[in-house]
Each structure stands twice: as structure tokens, then as C-alpha cells.
Amino acid sequence: MRSVLVAILLASVVLAGCSSNPAKNGTSGASAMPALPVEPNTTYHLGSVEGQAQSLSSADLTGNNAPVAALGGYTWIHAVTFEPSLGITKSGAIFMTSLRGEGPLGAIQNTHVLRGTDHASAWTDVGPFATPLLPYSNVPNSNDPFLYVDPWTSRVIDFDMCGTLSAFCESTSDDDGRTWTLHSIVTGEQTALDHQSIAASPAGETGLTTIGYPNVLVFCVNRGVSGNLVGGSYCSTSIDGGITFTPLVPGFPIGTSQCSGLSAHVKGSGDGRFYRGNPSCSGPAVYRSDDGGLTWSEHTISTTTGNLDHEVAVAVDGGNNVHAFWIGADGLPYLASSRDHGDSWGPVRMVAVPGVNETGFPAITAGGAGRIAFAYIGAHVEGGYAKDQKGANWTGYIGVMTDAFADQPLITTVAINTPDDPLSTGQCGDTRCGGFGDFIDIAVDPEGRPWAAFAHNGHDGGAGIVGTLLLGPSLLGDVAPLSPITLAGPASFG
């Protein structure tokens, strides 16, 4: 019966594409208003610039900026998660991290990698296992999980903080997680390291020559205060596929002050550059390396929005344009894009779905040039940001722009869960809560469909879930509708 109802719902969404809902879309229904699709829990809207809301009735919703019927949903990965990271290989397999207790009495905390296939309908624990005979991770003990998939080679990298806070255990797989290689333990110079991430980029313009692997790998990590060493984000480079790494170097221009915030996920571009987000002393910023992570430059995006939290998420699209996404001091999400590698930035847009006044855990990904998808959680809190969150019910959102460089980019925002199925309740968003930890993640599959890694704190204190577009526009190739899929949603917990 449920499959029949879902099929009817999907059919009704497609048929509704020639109707409009002026009240829902925040317009007066003027004759110039283009017809928009009508779907449950989906909103078509524009961002506000400098506090000024923009009207859909004045936007050019044609070409790549045209609306496509969209609908969101999620499914469980059949494991708990903490600070979920996610990657997708060229085969379409989705990989996501699970941090769990194992061994006698569950005393050892370890990362397992879950592989989802057939549009996340089937999930398998692929380890990495210590031996084929024992279902235990090959990581001695994980303090933080992190997973990355090299988009050019589909190498899956499980990059854990392990043992102590100065070591990283790195496992790689080149066959969709069927077999793994423990390359090395990358040791830091001091014990106060945290919040690691890793990324790849073709050697391209880095000036580096790789050995045995076509891409340069760079990892960045937060470095605390020890003696006379000033904290901040530090980075390390590998030219041999992760077997060896250089000593840590500052992930910011030497001689500049580092004020606050944790380094967001480092990202590699197709032209050999690396980027990472982090607040500067003036506001949210992107840091760029043109030489494979050896030196970095600072590029402040905004001096007016402020930063509520540490993450300034970054994505690089197929045209090597850079997109940044962060939560401002007012608790709302902001987005800006750059066509010149971060040297200058376009308009800063507040992109929250209307009605949401508190948000958290920004993540962003990109497909073709100007095509981006971003994820966050949001809630309506009585009285606005910084008021009592006791009654807050948190929803997972995925927003899509198919023309980020349009004068007024259309934002299609889907909710992945319904109001009666909140991902978390009470204090969340601007603080750790359950399985969310410090961040979530988002990536694009070979069809152009975005998948976001969330936690569902209503199940096991942080069940791992992935959300996506059941319907919506592709972020690769032509701006065309994706093939419809179904996900089990709350029923997956059964």
C-alpha cells in the first residue's frame, strides 16, 4: 500500500508542475509571475541581499534558472553516526561514516564505513576490517572519523584521528570498499590536533610532480596552542597517493593573525588549487593554495554577516568557480560565489527557506559550472535567534541553485523530513547535539543528484541518514529533471 501511495504522490508532483501556489512562494500572484511547481515540503524562493528580500515576480526564471519540480526524502544507513562525512564514487556507490563502540563491552570507539547502493536502498558495512575473520575496524581507536572520495579516481579514503590526538590512520580503497590498504599513520608534531579533512586535486598548476598516483592530496587540521606555537589550521601534502606526507605548515599566510573558528573541509579544484573555509579576523573567509598546500592566501568574503559558528563550507564547481556557505551571527545561512578563485566575491545572499529563523551545520557541494547544492538544519524558534530553543523541532534542508551566477538565482529548497519527524528537538544548530557533532556533509552522484549526510537524534541518539532529491533538477549536464526515486524515510527504522 505504501509503495502505491508514494507512486501516486510522485505522479501528482509531476502533474502539478504547470500550476502555481502564490501564497506559498511569497508573491501576490501577479500576471508576470511564472508558473511554479507545487510539492509538499518544497519551497521556491530567492535569497535576500543586504537584508532586502527579493520577489520571485521580478526574477528571470528561464534557461538554467528555470524551476524544476522537486521533492525531498531520506533513508537510514542502518548504523549510528557522529560528524557524518560522505563521498560518492563513479559507480554511484555512496559511502558514509559510522562511529561506534566495539570490542569487549564496546569499550573501543571506531569508525566503520557504510556503502549504499541502488540509490541508497541497500547498505553494507565495508569496514575497513582488521582481518576477514573479525568484524572490528583496523583503526586502533578513533577519536574523529572522516571520509573522502577522490572525484577523479574514485579512491575512497578513510582518514581517522586515531590512538592519540597527534596521529591519523589512513585506509584507502580503489574498488568501492571491497578491499582496503592501510597506507600509513600520519603523525602530527603536537598532541592538540582536531577536525581533520583531506582532499585531492590533479597536479595541474600546483608545480608538483606526483609519484604512483595522478593527484596531489592535502589534509588540513586544527592545531591548538602549545608553548609558543599559535593555534590555527595547518596543512600537509602528499604526492604519492597518501603513503607519505610533508610536515605540517600553516594553512594561512604566515604573519597574519588567526582569530577563531575551526577549519572546514578542505576542497580541491580541477585546476590544481586547494581551498578551505575559516573565519578571518574580519569575517568569513576562504583560504587558497596555488602550490599543493604548501602556502596559503587569505580571502575574506564578508565583513558584515559575522560567523555564528566555525564552519565556512566551500565547494568548487566544474568551471572552477568557488562557492562559500556559512551561518551568520544572526543564526541564518549565507552564500556567496567567486569566479576568480576567491579574489573577489559576488553578492552575499541569505538563503534560508522562509519561516526558518535559526540554522546550523552548513555544507555545500557543486556540479557543473554555477550548479550548487547546500545542506543545513533549520527551525522556527519563537522570538528569533538566541532565544530559548526548548520547543525547537529541527528539519534537514537541501537547497539547490542551478544558476548561481544569475542576477536573481532561484533557490529550490526541499525538506528531507516532515514536521512530525524532526531530526532533533531542543538545543541544536549552533551547538553540538547527538550525532551531528561539528558538521554534516553533502556530495553529488554521477547522475547529478545531491546526497546529504545527516543525523537523526530521535533514533539511537544519532542514527545516520542520507537525504536527497526524490525529484529535482540535475546538477550535471543539462538542467533537466532527475529520474524519480523513492526512499523509505521513517519506515527505514523499522
Q: Which amino acid is at 139?
A: V
Lowest mean pLDDT of 14-23, 106-115, 275-284, name the range.
14-23
| 55 — pLDDT class (breaks 50, 70, 90) | confident
Q: What is the DSSP code (8-state) at residue 28?
A: -
Please tell me the distance from the alpha carbon of residue 212 to that of residue 191, in angstroms, as a whole number.
Answer: 31
pLDDT digit string, tens, across residues 275-333: 999 988 899 999 999 999 999 999 999 999 988 767 899 999 999 999 999 999 999 99
Where is pLDDT greater, at 94 or 260? Answer: 94
Q: Which helix (H) or strand (E) holds 2?
A: helix 2-15
| 10 is a domain residue | no
| Helix, strand, coil tally for the chain in percent (to 5) | 5, 40, 50
| 163 — pLDDT class (breaks 50, 70, 90) | low
| 17 — pLDDT class (breaks 50, 70, 90) | very low
| 3 — pLDDT class (breaks 50, 70, 90) | very low
| 149 is a domain residue | yes
Average pLDDT of the chain to the nearest whole number: 88
| 13 is a domain residue | no
Q: What is the DSSP code (8-state) at residue 248?
A: P
Domain count within the chain:
1
pLDDT given at position 191: 59
Q: What is the DSSP string of 31-73?
A: TTSPP----TTEEEE--EETTB---GGGS---GGG-----EEE
pLDDT given at position 483: 97
pLDDT digit string, tens, across residues 126-159: 999 877 777 788 887 887 899 999 999 999 999 9
| 307 is a domain residue | yes
Where is pLDDT greater, at 405 or 52? Answer: 405
> For a pLDDT cut of 70, what percent of the chain falls above it?
88
pLDDT given at position 231: 66
| 479 is a domain residue | yes
Q: pTM for the whole thing?
A: 0.92
pLDDT digit string, tens, across residues 426-438: 999 888 899 999 9
Q: Is the pLDDT of residue 410 over 50?
A: yes
Average pLDDT over residues 461-484: 96
In terms of residue numbers, what domain contains 100?
A: 42-493
**What CATH number does residue 272 fall under?**
2.130.10.10
pLDDT digit string, tens, across residues 336-345: 999 999 999 9
| 3 is a domain residue | no
Please tell me the distance from the alpha carbon of residue 98 to that of residue 310, in angstroms, as a whole number.
Answer: 23
| 60 — pLDDT class (breaks 50, 70, 90) | very high
Longest dimension (CA), the chain: 68
| 284 is a domain residue | yes
Please tell me the distance from the alpha carbon of residue 211 to that of residue 312, in angstroms, as a whole number.
Answer: 32
> For a pLDDT cut of 90, what percent of the chain falls above it?
66
Cβ-based neighbours of 301, under 8 Å, separated by 6 or more: 283, 284, 285, 286, 312, 324, 326, 336, 345, 348
- 353-379: b (≥16 Cβ within 10 Å) or e: beebbbbbbbbbbbbbebbbbbbbbbb
pLDDT given at position 164: 64
pLDDT digit string, tens, across residues 170-229: 999 999 999 999 876 776 665 567 788 999 999 877 789 999 999 999 999 887 654 334
| 33 — pLDDT class (breaks 50, 70, 90) | low
| 320 is a domain residue | yes
Q: Is the pLDDT of residue 47 over 50?
A: yes
Lowest mean pLDDT of 387-391, 447-451, 453-457, 476-480, name the range.
387-391
Which of helix, strand or coil describes residue 102? Answer: strand
Distances (CA, A) of 96 to 3, 26, 277, 414: 26, 37, 22, 21
Q: Is the pLDDT of residue 121 over 60?
A: yes
